[in-house]
C-alpha cells in the first residue's frame, strides 16, 4: 500500500484521465462554511461548487466543520482538503479530484474557533447536511424540541455549543453585536420544506435566547428550500484500495457516487451565491413539489427496499433489485401510492423519472448497503412515508405497500432478524422502539401494531385512529411471521405492475 497521501504537491503527477483542479487554490477565499461535512456534501454541494470555482468564482471556497468527531478532519486536512469523487456505474468509473474545501474544523475541539469563523463577514452562506436528527426538532410537529439534550446544553453554554442551531444562532448573535450582516442558511438535508423548517427552529431557538435576537435573525437571514439527490454509499476499504491503484497514492477522504446528481434550489440568497445553475443546479421559486417527488418516490422507495431487503438477506439495494419481485414492488409502489399522492407538474415526465429511479437502484457498481439506508428510520419515516400515507387514507387510496413497509420496519427495530440473529439498529430512538417490540409482541401483532401507531414521536396523534391502517399493518405482520419477508414479497408482489 502506498504511504503517500493525496495532497497539493502530487496533483500534477496524477494520471491524465483523472480530472484535477484547474485553478490556483491559494487564490480561493472562504465564502461558505458547511456544517456536517460528510460524504454526501463532498459528492454533491462541494462538487457543484468546485465547478464554479474552476470557472473563476474564487470567493466561494468552503471550510467544513464536523460537529461530532474528528474523523473527516483527519481524512481531509493531511490531504490539503483534496479528495476524489469516484463516479461508478455499470459503464465504468470516472475520478475527479475536488479542491473546493480548504480546511475542516472540529467543533468540540474548539467551539470558539468555529463560532468566530461563522462570524466572519466573508462568509455569506452556511450550509448544512446534519441529517434529520441534527435539527433538534420533533419530526411529527416540525417544532423545536426544547427538551433535546443538545438544545438544553447549548442554551446553558452558548460559548461552547454542540448543535448546528447553537452554532448558527451564536454566530448570528456575534454578527449582530459587531454590526455585520447576516448570512443565508442553506439546508441540504432530506426534509420536506427544509428551508421553512430550518427557519422556524432557528427563530424558536433564538427566542429562548432573546426576543430581540430572534427578530434580528428573522430580518437578517434567509433559509432557502432545497431538494438534493445523489446516491452516495459509504466508502469501503475495497473502494479505497481500488482508487489507490488508479491514483498511485492513498485518498482516505474519497467518496463514491452514481453519475446522476440533481439539486433544485429556491433562489432566495441574502448576499449572493455561486452560479450553481451553470454547474447543473436548477433554481426555482417553489421547491416543494420537486422535493415531494424525490422524498416520496426515491427516498420512500429506498427506505421500503432497505427494511424489507435487509430482512430478506440482501446486503445492497442492487442485490434487492436483482430479485424480480422486489423490482416489480418498487415500481408498483412509485406508481400506485407515491405518485398518486402528488400534484405532479404537467411538464414533468413522471414515468421517465420512475424508470430512471429503477435504473439507478439497479446500479451494481455502487454497493449501497440496505443497513446504511435503514439508519435513523424514526427520523426518516415521517418525511418519506407518512405524507403519502395520510394522503391515501384521506382519499381512500391504496396503502398496501406502505403498510407492508411499516410492518417490515417494526420487525427491523425489534433488533432481531428472521433467523434470530441480532440486528444493529442505528436510530436515536432505538431503545424505545425495541422496548415497544419487547413489551407488545408477546401479546400478538394486533397489540404490536396498536402500540407503534400510538408512538407519537414518529406517527403524531392522528394515525392511531385509522382502523384501516391498523388492520393493514397487523395483517402484514401476520404474513411476515408466517411466510418471511422474501417469500412474502415473491407471493404477493410478483404479479404487480
Per-residue pLDDT of the chain in tens (497 residues, 90 and over written 9): 557 999 999 999 999 999 999 999 999 999 999 999 999 999 999 999 999 999 999 999 999 999 999 999 999 999 999 999 999 998 899 999 999 999 999 999 999 999 999 999 999 999 999 999 999 999 888 999 999 999 999 999 999 999 999 999 999 999 999 999 999 999 999 888 999 999 999 999 999 999 999 999 999 999 999 999 999 999 999 999 999 999 999 999 999 999 999 999 999 999 999 999 999 999 999 999 998 999 999 999 999 999 999 999 999 999 999 999 999 999 999 999 999 999 999 989 999 999 999 999 999 998 899 999 999 999 999 989 999 999 999 999 999 999 999 999 999 999 999 999 999 999 999 999 999 999 999 999 999 999 999 999 999 999 999 999 999 999 999 999 999 999 999 999 999 97
pLDDT of residue 191: 86
Q: What is the pLDDT of residue 3?
A: 73
Q: What is the pLDDT of residue 98?
A: 98
The cell numbers describing 423, all together, are 440486528
Question: What pTM value is reported for the model?
Answer: 0.83
Residue 370 main-chain phi, psi, to 5 deg: -60, -35
Distance of alpha carbon 229 from alpha carbon 212, whole angstroms: 37
User: Based on the number of CB atoms within 10 Å of its own CB, is 270 exposed (0-12), middle (13-18) or buried (19 or more)?
Assistant: middle
The Cα 20–Cα 8 span in angstroms is 11
CA distance 486 to 490: 6
pLDDT at residue 90, rounded to an integer: 86
101-106 and 61-66 as β-strands: parallel, antiparallel, unpaired? parallel
User: Residue 159 in 3-state DSSP?
Assistant: coil
Q: Give the span between the Cα atoms of 48 and 56, in whole angstroms.
A: 13
Distant-in-sequence contacts of 7-12, Cβ < 8 A, 24+ apart: 7/78, 7/79, 7/80, 7/82, 8/80, 8/82, 10/249, 11/82, 11/97
Q: Which helix (H) or strand (E) holds 266?
A: strand 262-266
How is residue 34 written as a grid cell?
458547511
Give the residue from 481, 463, 340 showing the smallest Cα distance to 407. 481
Which pLDDT value is given to residue 140? 80
- The whole-number pLDDT of residue 2 equals 58
φ and ψ of 444, to 5 deg: 110, 165
Parallel, antiparallel or unpaired: strands 255-257 and 83-89: parallel
Burial (CB count <10 Å: 0-12, 13-18, 19+), residue 264: buried
Output the pLDDT for position 1.
Answer: 53
Exposed/middle/buried for 169, CB within 10 Å: 0-12, 13-18, 19+?
buried
Amino acid at each position: 500500500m502506498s504511504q503517500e497521501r493525496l495532497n497539493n504537491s502530487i496533483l500534477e503527477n496524477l494520471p491524465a484521465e483523472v480530472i484535477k483542479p484547474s485553478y490556483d487554490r491559494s487564490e480561493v477565499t472562504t465564502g461558505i462554511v458547511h456544517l456536517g461535512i460528510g460524504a454526501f456534501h463532498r459528492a454533491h454541494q462541494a462538487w457543484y461548487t468546485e465547478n464554479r470555482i474552476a470557472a473563476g468564482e474564487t470567493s466561494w471556497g468552503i471550510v467544513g466543520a464536523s460537529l461530532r468527531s474528528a474523523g473527516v478532519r483527519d481524512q481531509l486536512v493531511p490531504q490539503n482538503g483534496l479528495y476524489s469523487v469516484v463516479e461508478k456505474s455499470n459503464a465504468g468509473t470516472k475520478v475527479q479530484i475536488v479542491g473546493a474545501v480548504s480546511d475542516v474544523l472540529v467543533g468540540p475541539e474548539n467551539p470558539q474557533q468555529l463560532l468566530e469563523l461563522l462570524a466572519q463577514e466573508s462568509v455569506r452562506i452556511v450550509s448544512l447536511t446534519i441529517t434529520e436528527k441534527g435539527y433538534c426538532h420533533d419530526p411529527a410537529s416540525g417544532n423545536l424540541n426544547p427538551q433535546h439534550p443538545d438544545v438544553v446544553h447549548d442554551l446553558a453554554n452558548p460559548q461552547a455549543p454542540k448543535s448546528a442551531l447553537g452554532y448558527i444562532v451564536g454566530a448570528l448573535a456575534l454578527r449582530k453585536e459587531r454590526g455585520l450582516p447576516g448570512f443565508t442558511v442553506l439546508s441540504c438535508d432530506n426534509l420536506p420544506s427544509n428551508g421553512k423548517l430550518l427557519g422556524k427552529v432557528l427563530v424558536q431557538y433564538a427566542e429562548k435566547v432573546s426576543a430581540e435576537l430572534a427578530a434580528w435573525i428573522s430580518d437578517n437571514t434567509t433559509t432557502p428550500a432545497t431538494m438534493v439527490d445523489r446516491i452516495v454509499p459509504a466508502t469501503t476499504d475495497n473502494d479505497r484500495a481500488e482508487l489507490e491503484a488508479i491514483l498511485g497514492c492513498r485518498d482516505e477522504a474519497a467518496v463514491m457516487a452514481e453519475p446522476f446528481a440533481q439539486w433544485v434550489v429556491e433562489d432566495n440568497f441574502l448576499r449572493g451565491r455561486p452560479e450553481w445553475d451553470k454547474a447543473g443546479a436548477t433554481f426555482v421559486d417553489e421547491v416543494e413539489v420537486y422535493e415531494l417527488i424525490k422524498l416520496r418516490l426515491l427516498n420512500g422507495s429506498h427506505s421500503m427496499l432497505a427494511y424489507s431487503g435487509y430482512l430478506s438477506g440482501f446486503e445492497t439495494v442492487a442485490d434487492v433489485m436483482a430479485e424480480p419481485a422486489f423490482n416489480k414492488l418498487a415500481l408498483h409502489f412509485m406508481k400506485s401510492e407515491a405518485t398518486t399522492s402528488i400534484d405532479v407538474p404537467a411538464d414533468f415526465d413522471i414515468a421517465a423519472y420512475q424508470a430512471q429511479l429503477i435504473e439507478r437502484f439497479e446500479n451494481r457498481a455502487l454497493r449501497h448497503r440496505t443497513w446504511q439506508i435503514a439508519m435513523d428510520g424514526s427520523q426518516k419515516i415521517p418525511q418519506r412515508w407518512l405524507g403519502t400515507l395520510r394522503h391515501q387514507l384521506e382519499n381512500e387510496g391504496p396503502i398496501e405497500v406502505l403498510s407492508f413497509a411499516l410492518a417490515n420496519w417494526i420487525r427491523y427495530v425489534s433488533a432481531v432478524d428472521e433467523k434470530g440473529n441480532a440486528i444493529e439498529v442505528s436510530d436515536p430512538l432505538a431503545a424505545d422502539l425495541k422496548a415497544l417490540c419487547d413489551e407488545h409482541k408477546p401479546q400478538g401483532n394486533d397489540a404490536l401494531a396498536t402500540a407503534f401507531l400510538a408512538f407519537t414521536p414518529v406517527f403524531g396523534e392522528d394515525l392511531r385512529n385509522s382502523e384501516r391502517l391498523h388492520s393493514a399493518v397487523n395483517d402484514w405482520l401476520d404474513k411476515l411471521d408466517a411466510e418471511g419477508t422474501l417469500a412474502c414479497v415473491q407471493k404477493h408482489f410478483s404479479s404487480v405492475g
